[in-house]
Structure 1
Amino acid sequence: GLRTPRQGRRSVPAPDLGRPGGGGRVRAPGTRGNVACPLVSTLQMPGKEGQAETAPPRLRNTRCEADMLVRFLLEKHASKEPITRAALLKIVSRKYEARWAEILRRTSERLQLLFGLELREGDAGGRAYALVSKPGLEGDGGDEGPPKSGLVLALLGVIFMKGNRASEEEVWEFLSVLGVYAGRRHPIFGEPRRLITQDLVRQKYLEYRHVPGSKPQRYEFLWGPRARAHTSKMEVLQVLAKINDTVPSCFPQLYQEALLEEAAREMLLCAKQSHRPSILHLWSRSR
């Protein structure tokens, strides 16, 4: 089933990589004005109970910087341009220069979790970096195409957070924060609309259906049968919590719902096992 990518040793450690300096700030490609961040800003449920606890401004700011670095690195990866430390430092605001190692760590984690890319130092001095694809993510099941486990789990999490059904607009709002836009080919996922409305629907991870009575016509996403069979609400909540540098219990209502689902699954499993004849019973009947 779907599983989160393996969490091995960090490819990019947190040494002293130097102080950002020189030149003005360069905004990541594809961004206009202030970048919409952090990711949790697009994942709010109606009412306060389902929302994550508000992160302090210091944490939110490092998330924003990491989100911009992710976009920049994906653009470089798509164009096969070299990635230098100097170029990355120009993306990060000078006022966060003391937190560069932390921002780079968050960037590396997001790249691996959502896009299946590992950020590696390209030389001994840490002056250059390389993005390396990790095709063997757990849970891809050998399907052709790019590794999608992290993105699929995140999409399932959005649907869960929106009351177990998410409008097409809400899904695209979330994806846009990741730099994934309808009609714009993505360097990792290819054509996004086809991926989420056709490929993942055909693979039964998602359901994509018309909202009855909507005028003009609107569409929504739900969990598909394969997602319901091979993952859980707790698993996708853990992914969303990791994306937002928090823990599942920071989403109180969703956390309780996920716990209830786990308890129900355990009860169902126990009930099935109690009705299953034991080996000894079958042996005695055969005599």
Structure 2
Amino acid sequence: MAAPVCSQSEDEGFSSQDEQETSSREDSGDAESSLHDALYLKMTELVEFLLLKYRAKQPTTKAEMLSRVIRKYQDHFPEIFSLASECMQLLFGIDVKEVDPSNLTYVLVTTLGLTYDGMVSNGQSMPNTGLLVMLLRLILAEGDCAPEENVWEALNVMGVCDGKEHWIYGEPRELLTKVWVQEKYLEYRQVPNSDPARYEFLWGPRAHAETTKLKVLKFFLRDYRKDPRSVPSLFQEALSDEEEGA
């Protein structure tokens, strides 16, 4: 009878140890998930704070961000600040630029040297320059002239749909075909000899005056950790335009 009793005792011991290890791993995973959620929440809060600063045209400092937003997560500031800055740039077209290293002061400016602040009337309070920059890049990728159907197909993937109000960008068709055309960032014209009529987008004169193809190309390739020369035809064309402009 001793053998079965001993065997049962060992099995129970191993089972108890496995349960403890499993419980420990689950606790560790829960803690990691909880921290991840907390940091994500802080990132969104910092983005909201930076948007308020952008609208008010006010600078901010690291100390202010720590005291007003980050608080007890100060050890994670570099990670939170990096993600928030990337979100500001890609989603809203706003750069968070350090202007005073001595006290870590930052200003918020539209990216790529554009002077358009991305704020429109009719209650739309979210900067929309990020979508404009995306569209300039799309036109560049299409060979400087993007068919309208290709533009909407690409924007649909981002959740920006023709005729559907967007939570950041408002009514996109009005933005693309009227607002940015009036601002001279885009040209929207009928494709020559098209019947039925088809339309296409090009860079407008203000886009050419304020930024360059090379800057736009570098902006997007940097996010994919690539060198512009990895896209040789676009790089060569952008470089040629840069040299002609100089």
> Which TM class, normalised by the smaller chain length?
0.5 to 0.7
Find the aligned partners of 2:128 and 2:227 in 1 and give their Cα distance. Answer: 22
Answering whether residue 29 of structure 2 is matched by residue 18 of structure 1, we say: no
2:77 alignment counterpart: none
Match for residue 156 of structure 1?
A: 136
1:174/1:143 CA distance change after superposition, 3 Å: closer
**Which structure has the larger Rg over C-alpha atoms?**
2
- What's the CA shift for 1:180? 0.9
Instruction: Please state whether the residue corresponding to 2:110 is helix, strand or coil.
Output: coil
Alignment of 1:137 with 2:117, yes or no, is: no
1:251-262 matches, cutoff 5 A: 251-262=231-242
Structure 1 residue 208, shift from structure 2 partner: 0.4
Report how many aligned residue pairs link the two structures: 156
Counterpart of 2:90 (choices 114, 135, 138) is 114
Unmatched runs of 5 consecutive residues or more in structure 2: 1-30, 35-39, 49-79, 95-106, 121-125
1:218 offset after TM fit, Å?
0.7
The change in CA–CA distance for 1:221 and 1:239 in structure 2 (over 3 A counts) is: same
How many Å apart are 1:149 and its aligned residue? 3.0
SS, match of residue 216 in structure 1: coil
| Aligned residue in 1 for 2:3 | none
Structure 2 counterpart of 1:210 = 190
SS class of match (1:246)? coil
Q: CA deviation at 1:263?
A: 1.5
Give the aligned CA root-mean-square deviation in angstroms: 3.3
Provide TM-score, normalisation by structure 2: 0.54
1:114 partner amino acid: L
Report SS of the residue matched to 1:190.
Answer: coil
After superposing the two structures, state which structure 1 stretch, 141-150 or 252-261, moved more: 141-150
Aligned mates of 2:154, 2:134 — CA distance in 1: 9
Q: In 1, are the aligned partners of 2:93 and 2:133 still within 8 Å (CA)? A: no
Structure 2 CA distance for aligned equivalents of residues 171 and 245 of structure 1: 24
- Secondary structure in structure 1 of the residue aligned to 2:161: coil
**What TM-score do the two structures reach when normalised by structure 1?**
0.47
- Counterpart of 1:167 (choices 133, 144, 147) is 147
Q: Which amino acid aligns with 2:244?
A: A
Q: 1:136 to 1:257 in 2, by over 3 A?
A: closer
Query: Which letter does structure 2 place at the counterpart of 1:261?
Result: D
- Contact 1:110–1:243 (8 Å) recurs in 2: no
Q: Which residue of 2 aligns with 1:199?
A: 179
Q: Distance in 1 between matches of 2:154 and 2:88?
A: 18
Q: Residue 211 and residue 205 in structure 1: after superposition, are their counterparts in 2 closer, same or farther (change >3 A)?
A: same
Letter in 2 for 1:246: K
Q: Counting helix residues as a fraction of each chain, which structure ranks higher?
A: 2
Q: Go from structure 1 to structure 2 and tell me whether the alpha carbon gap of 1:263 and 1:112 turns closer, same or farther (over 3 Å shift).
A: same
- State the SS of the aligned residue for 2:32: coil
CA contact (8 A) 2:93 2:127 kept: no
Supply the distance in 2 between the matched residues of 1:244 and 1:174 (Cα, whole angstroms): 18
Aligned match for 1:229, one of 209, 216, 220: 209
Shift in alpha-carbon separation, 1:160–1:141, aligned structure 2, 3 A = closer
- Cα deviation for residue 151 of structure 1 reads 2.1
1:187 paired residue among 164, 167, 170: 167
Q: Retained in 2: the 8 A contact 1:201–1:224?
A: yes
Output the CA distance in 1 between the equivalents of 2:233 and 2:93: 32
| Consecutive unaligned residues in structure 1, runs of 5 or more | 1-16, 21-68, 78-103, 119-133, 267-287
Give the whole-Å Cα distance in 2 for the aligned partners of 1:144 and 1:181.
Answer: 20
Q: Deviation per CA, 1:45-74, whole angstroms, max 9, x where unpaired? A: xxxxxxxxxxxxxxxxxxxxxxxx9xxx9x
